[in-house]
Every structure is written in C-alpha cells, then in structure tokens.
Amino acid sequence: MAAMTPRRSGASVTEAELTVLRTLWEGGPATVREVLDRVGPDGQDWAYTTVQTLLLRLQEKGCVAADKRGLAHVFRATVSRDQFAGQRLDEVKDAILDGAAAPLVLRLVQNGRFTPAEIAHFRKLLDDAEQRSRKEGR
C-alpha cells in the first residue's frame, strides 16, 4: 500500500492525535478498542469515545483510513512516520527559516547521535549534493 500525504497540514495534528497515530505506526492497523489498549499511560484517562473521536479527526485529515471488519472499523495509518516527519520539517523550514534547509540540518546533526552506518549514509548524501552543485555551477 502506498502511503498518502495528509490532506491538511501535519502541523494541525494535535499531540493526542499524534499519540494515536504512533500506535498505528508501531502496532499496525487496529480497532478503536485496540488503540485504546495500546495507548497505555499516554492515554490512561481516555474513554473509548475519546479514541474514536481522535481516529475520526485523523481520518478527516487524511492521516488514517478505516476498513470495516465485522462490526468494528479497523483503522490504519495512510501516511508513514517518515513522510509525516518530513512534512513537519518542511513546515519548520518554510515557516521559520524562510525555506533554508541548512540551519535545520546543521542543528539536527549538531545535537544528534548517529551510528557509523548513518554517518556513511550522510557522507554519500553530501557527496551527491556536492556533485549536483558542481553540475549546476554553484
């Protein structure tokens, strides 16, 4: 299944909705009851109807789809965690940094911990970017 980009801005996803979306990313498709069981401490005071409302809001935003299985609807994420994160980072880049990616990337690298494999991947990406810049005459 190809994941979809949310119809509305990822920034409009609330923290509670993000908690629900995380359960679908981590545990796969689920009914309202299964999501409620998965949220654990993050949603310990949530009622069934709260989770149902959050799932319906995520469905309206294009982040979740529902399939009918028996009497219950089974909800699944239609946007991957990576796609969602990318959209959020693009929004920060555009809204705060006037479209400049370098300050965002530099900040993330300065404060991150990376495996040797991730560092090697970064080097390849930088080498590719450097080659593109040379071809474009920058």
Chain centroid offset of residue 12 CA: 12
Domain coordinates of the chain in residue numbers? 1-98, 101-138
How do the pLDDT tens digits run along the chain, 138 residues long? 334 445 544 458 999 999 999 999 999 999 999 999 999 876 668 999 999 999 999 999 999 999 987 888 999 999 999 999 998 889 889 999 999 988 988 998 898 899 999 999 999 999 999 999 888 876
Q: Supply the DSSP string of 59-105, one letter for each residue.
A: HHTTSEEEEEETTEEEEEESS-HHHHHHHHHHHHHHHHSTT--HHHH
The CATH code that applies to domain 1-98 is 1.10.10.10
- Measured CA to CA, the distance from residue 22 to residue 16 in angstroms comes to 10
- Measured CA to CA, the distance from residue 97 to residue 107 in angstroms comes to 12
